[in-house]
Amino acid sequence: MGAVKVSSTQHKRVVAHIPARDGSKRVKNKNIRLMDGKPMIGYAIEAARQAAKIDHLVVNTDSPAIMEYARAEGVEIYERPPALASDTATSDEFHADIISNMDCEYFVLINPVCPCVRSQTIDLCIGALLDAPDYDTVISCSQTQMQTFCGELPVNISLEEQLRPSQENAIVSILNWTVAAWKRDEFLKNYNEKGYAVLGTNRLLAKIPDIEGAKVSVEDDFVFCEQLLRSRRINA
């Protein structure tokens, strides 16, 4: 199967993709593994479908199993080139690949390894970009005013004074990449000129609920997110 291209006759304002490559090592097959009875990627598909601001959705993958699941769910597939599905492929590279094949004004990432995201949060992130003409990028984040270090160096506190209440500290934003959105043409301009683009030029960091930013990187994360989703389902 060749790469799907949204042609000029299929122009969409907002196109979203769910990137889910085959080669997960720390949590094997995590994207297609059942999480509270549903493949983990299914939660991203469901949330993206319910997001009012997304006009078109594709699953970006090299995995036959994920392709089969996406087709069964009626979601269009973008077949990722093998070279961009390796451990060494960068986010800039695989985003530039799919964005260059999409005819749209805005392009959105919905991260399948953050299965607790809700459609309302996706819409808020996209809306933040649509409503802010001076920005070309929105990236979801969590925030803290707790005392923060990078290695041995303090980030938002001073070691030369008495410890202050945490609410007096500067806010530190931590990118979780649950959702990100870009102006398509600005992304491609940056990528073609600089070789990178995902962080954008004029970016807005969108704080989202901490639970929705929970990311599956290791086995304990998978169990934690499954418990969160199970609790949400039971209490719905």
Instruction: Note the pLDDT tens digit of each residue in 88-135.
Output: 889 999 999 999 999 999 999 999 999 999 999 999 999 999 999 899
- The model's pLDDT over 50-62, given as tens digits with 9 standing for 90+, comes to 999 999 999 999 9
State yes or no: pLDDT of 24 exceeds 80: no
27 within a domain of the structure (yes/no): yes
Task: Using the predicted structure, report yes or no on whether residue 39 has a pLDDT greater than 70.
Answer: yes
Tell me, yes or no, whether 163 lies in a domain: yes
Answer yes or no: is 224 within a domain.
Answer: yes
Which of 196, 6, 1 is CA-nearest to residue 99?
A: 6
19 lies in some domain: yes
Q: Is the pLDDT of residue 9 over 50?
A: no
* pLDDT at res. 2: 43
Domain count, the chain: 1
Element (H, E) at 220: helix 219-234
Whether 61 is covered by a domain: the verdict is yes
Instruction: Quote the strand ranges of the chain, DSSP E.
Output: 12-19, 34-35, 38-39, 56-61, 76-79, 104-110, 137-144, 149-150, 153-154, 172-183, 203-207
Mean pLDDT rounded to a whole number for the chain? 93
**1 domain-assigned:** no
Is it the case that residue 3 has pLDDT exceeding 50?
no
pLDDT at 10: 63
128: exposed, middle or buried (Cβ count in 10 Å: 0-12, 13-18, 19+): middle
Note the pTM of the prediction, 2 decimals.
0.92
Q: Which residue has the higher pLDDT, 85 or 137?
A: 137
| 16-30, 40-54, 156-170: least confident range | 16-30
Does residue 2 form part of some domain? no
pLDDT at position 26 is: 67
Residue 50 lies inside a defined structural domain of this protein: yes
Q: What's the average model confidence in pLDDT over 165-188?
A: 97
CATH number of the domain to which 220 belongs: 3.90.550.10
Does residue 173 have a pLDDT over 80? yes
- Region 156-176 average pLDDT: 97
Range of the domain at 24: 8-234
Report CA-CA distances (Å) from 50 to 45, 85, 179.
Answer: 9, 28, 14
